[in-house]
Amino acid sequence: MSKLRVLMVCMGNICRSPMAHGVFEQRLRERGLENVIEVDSAGTHGYHIGSGPDPRARDEARGRGYDISHLRARQLEREDFDEFDYILVMDEANERIARQLQGKDTRARLQRFPEYAVNRPETEVPDPYYGGGEGFVHVMDLVEAAADGLLEHFEREHGIRPRNGSTG
């Protein structure tokens, strides 16, 4: 089986999607799946291309053991829909923009990332950019739950199992 490719998408690619990228990347390493599943992130808008994650996102991630400092913002492109298997958006606005860009007969499955957050009522990962630090805490809680649910989905749907005997 070829490597599964996952793209996390928010508006500017400096808060939610790099947090999701970093969490999922770490989950893959913990399970020995980094050679089976690849993760990247992008934004629907080009406001921050080339910038690192928001300092509040970096701080919240670092406080939970994730390093996202190496990530750099990029914009979602039409080609991403042919290069990725899953494009996971954070909210309805990003989904609407992504669907306009997607076109017909593309490879990617476009969904909202919080759909994978088992036992969580949220249908969107809220944008914490204009709020305080508590928004980043809430985003990280949601992102961790969705990352775990996504891995469970990959086990069921694609038969992917941890390579190192770990279950997380």
Catalogue the active-site residues. 10, 16, 127
Report the alpha-carbon distance of residue 19 to residue 40 in Å, rounded. Answer: 11
Task: Return the axis-axis angle of helices 16-30 and 55-63, rounded to nearest 10°.
Answer: 30
Report the alpha-carbon distance of residue 105 to residue 26 in Å, rounded. Answer: 32
Query: What's the DSSP call for residue 146?
Result: H
Query: What's the DSSP call for residue 4?
Result: E
Rg (the chain; Cα; Å): 15
Query: What's the DSSP call for residue 93?
Result: H
Report the alpha-carbon distance of residue 55 to residue 35 in Å, rounded. Answer: 29
Report the alpha-carbon distance of residue 27 to residue 64 in Å, rounded. Answer: 12
Token pair belonging to 156: 């069921």
Task: Return the axis-axis angle of helices 133-158 and 16-30, rounded to nearest 10°.
Answer: 50
